[in-house]
């Protein structure tokens, strides 16, 4: 009886451990190369498969503007926050990327953010990226975001 209980307990723990956020599908440390010398973060939510990809959780949780990158994606999921000043359709993958870029100051640090949506056939992704700027004339967030999306074969 004791062995049977241990077996059920073990099966239960294994089942519970597999029910969290999907991890390991992508090595987000590879995203570091896209940011270069800049500190930054990236959040992507896959609507169809309901999982997140995050790079640099600490900065993703920091409020770089009125919202953190994580909060921005949550609002986009609920269709309460989607703006765009950039609209691009990729001929190769049949995807459409819409996003908005902003420069902001937070705690004496300059950031550029790029937030938006990618639609490919029957797939939808929401993203938010923030890049710490050393020079406020830099424009990097959109380009870094597109490189990351391309590496994920999303855009």
| Annotated domain spans of the chain | 26-151
Lowest-confidence pick of 9-23, 79-93, 126-140: 9-23
Architecture label for domain 26-151: 3-Layer(aba) Sandwich (3.40)
CA gap 44, 63 in Å, rounded: 17
Contact 128, 62 (CB under 8 A): no
Statement: residue 102 has pLDDT above 90: no
pLDDT tens digit sequence for 17-56 = 333 444 445 678 889 999 999 999 999 999 999 999 999 9
- Contacts of residue 75, Cβ cutoff 8 Å, sequence gap at least 6: 67, 81
């Amino acid at each position: 009886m004791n062995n049977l209980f241990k077996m059920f307990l073990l099966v239960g723990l294994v089942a519970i451990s597999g029910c969290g956020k999907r991890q390991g599908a992508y090595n987000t440390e590879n995203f570091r190369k896209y940011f270069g010398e800049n500190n930054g973060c990236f959040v992507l939510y896959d609507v169809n498969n309901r999982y997140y990809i995050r790079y640099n959780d600490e900065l993703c949780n920091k409020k770089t503007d009125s919202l953190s990158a994580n909060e921005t994606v949550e609002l986009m999921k609920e269709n309460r926050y989607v703006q765009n000043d950039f609209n691009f359709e990729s001929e190769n993958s049949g995807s459409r990327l819409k996003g908005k870029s902003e420069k902001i100051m937070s705690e004496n640090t300059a950031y550029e953010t790029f937030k938006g949506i990618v639609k490919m056939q029957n797939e939808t992704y929401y993203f938010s990226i923030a890049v710490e700027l050393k020079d406020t004339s830099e424009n990097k967030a959109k380009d870094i975001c597109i490189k990351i999306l391309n590496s994920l074969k999303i855009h």
